[in-house]
Structure 1
């Protein structure tokens, strides 16, 4: 879509572009959402792709993902063999159901900052206990837990002019076993619920992440693998106003699916243990 209110595009921003921020600006990365709808309040676009941030930096500490890393590049990444949760990277990319054209331009950071309940990069990073590095216009930096970033449907903790610079996934989370379940109304539809359970091999711990069915990510942590009743009670304790409603499912439908798939995840992890 043409954005007929835009009067300027900053093609070569400074290395800390926040200093140039002014009202009416938008950060431009993939632009797959930005150009999909009218943006009447915008006057200027600042192109972050010109900064050439490293898309993926694996190390002994884990995996750093640059905010402008494309879905295509993340999908193509081959994780080390001991990162047994590594296949979740590709599975999460596949949950962003779109054409190869979108995959070639849509970014990890853009999907996170859009902060929709069904954002699969949110599911991925919350489930793998990531932390986000945010850059403020005044030059300061802050680190935010992925779980705390999204606060509601299309809402997050970003202040005006603040940028998501990178995502850091710790190696200890990548070495966990990860089991996921996802439901859509149609084969190529948006996620109605997307659940991920992780646990360190040889232990009974369980971290259950619930997304898509809730307006913000929900995490349930258990030191020992819970029984079915305890797990269900934890799901039923999620506040009613957190369950999401849209044409893909009612809150009651999503809660029902979450109970069902959470029990499948629990049993699969228990069998693996």
Structure 2
């Protein structure tokens, strides 16, 4: 879809141009959502490809994923052999249903910033206890837990003009054991619930609930809980109002699905 309200595209990005952010501006990553529906309020686009960020960088402590990294680039990454949870990367990419055209244009950061409850890049980052690196409009950077980045349905923690720069996936969590569960109302439908569990070598257990809730919910335990303990924590952390309600599933069904998949994950990892 053409956006006929755009009068300028900024391709020479630097700190000064970001500081000039004004109403009617938007960041252009892959553009797969931006160009999918009318954007009557937009006047100017900042082309993020101008930054030339390295899509993926492996450091001793983290896999650093640039916000502009394409879904296909992330999917093609081959994890080291000792990353027992390395398979989560492809599982979450597969949860983003789309053609090869979408995969080669859609960005990891764009999927997170759109902040849909079913956004699988948010699921991956939150489950691995990742850190979001945010470039602020006034200059400098701030960091925050990926599990706190999405604050609600299509709402995130960015202030106007702030920019998600990168997502740091900790190597320590990628070396833990993991279990993945995803369910949809239809065979190829949007995720109605996507849950990921981690169990590290010290016995610490974490469960992350996404898609069924309006924002990610990550529950951490010093040891794998029993069935009743896990159910109690889920009920305490996720009030009924937090379960998402749309054409892809009613809240009561999503709640039932969440509890069922959580118990499957607990049994798999703790058994």
TM-score class, shorter:
over 0.9
> What CA deviation, in whole Å up to 9, does each residue of 1:171-223 have, x standing for no partner?
1111111101000122211000000000103x432100000000000011111
Once the 2 structures are TM-superposed, how far is the Cα of residue 12 of structure 1 from its aligned partner?
2.4
Mean Cα deviation higher: 184-193 or 208-217: 184-193
Find the counterpart in structure 2 of residue 165 from structure 1.
Answer: 165
User: 1:215 and 1:16, CA in 2 relative to 1: closer, same or farther beyond 3 A?
Assistant: farther
Distance in 2 (alpha carbons) for counterparts of 1:20 and 1:12: 13
The answer on whether the counterparts of 1:13 and 1:50 sit within 8 Å (CA) in structure 2 is yes
Mean Cα deviation higher: 181-190 or 118-127: 181-190
Find the counterpart in structure 2 of residue 209 from structure 1.
Answer: 208
The answer on whether the counterparts of 1:96 and 1:119 sit within 8 Å (CA) in structure 2 is yes
Find the counterpart in structure 2 of residue 88 from structure 1.
Answer: 88
Distance in 2 (alpha carbons) for counterparts of 1:127 and 1:16: 35
The answer on whether the counterparts of 2:83 and 2:174 sit within 8 Å (CA) in structure 1 is yes
The answer on whether the counterparts of 1:26 and 1:45 sit within 8 Å (CA) in structure 2 is yes
In the alignment of these two chains, the number of paired residues is: 270
Mean Cα deviation higher: 238-247 or 99-108: 238-247
Distance in 1 (alpha carbons) for counterparts of 2:16 and 2:122: 25
SS of 1:261's partner is helix
Find the counterpart in structure 1 of residue 132 from structure 2.
Answer: 132
The answer on whether the counterparts of 2:15 and 2:139 sit within 8 Å (CA) in structure 1 is no
Q: Is residue 2:202 matched to residue 1:195? A: no
Once the 2 structures are TM-superposed, how far is the Cα of residue 68 of structure 1 from its aligned partner?
0.1
List gaps (5 residues or longer) in structure 1. Answer: none
TM-score normalized by the length of structure 2: 0.97
Distance in 2 (alpha carbons) for counterparts of 1:46 and 1:141: 18
Once the 2 structures are TM-superposed, how far is the Cα of residue 16 of structure 1 from its aligned partner?
6.5
Once the 2 structures are TM-superposed, how far is the Cα of residue 67 of structure 1 from its aligned partner?
0.4
Distance in 1 (alpha carbons) for counterparts of 2:261 and 2:159: 35
Distance in 1 (alpha carbons) for counterparts of 2:213 and 2:260: 15
Find the counterpart in structure 1 of residue 61 from structure 2.
Answer: 61
> What CA deviation, in whole Å up to 9, does each residue of 1:209-264 have, x standing for no partner?
00000000001111111111111112222112111001111111001001111111
Distance in 1 (alpha carbons) for counterparts of 2:135 and 2:17: 9
Distance in 2 (alpha carbons) for counterparts of 1:32 and 1:145: 26
Mean Cα deviation higher: 138-147 or 66-75: 138-147
The 5 Å alignment of 1:1-273 reads 1-14=1-14, 17-201=17-201, 203-237=202-236, 238-271=238-271
The answer on whether the counterparts of 1:15 and 1:51 sit within 8 Å (CA) in structure 2 is no
Distance in 1 (alpha carbons) for counterparts of 2:160 and 2:142: 14
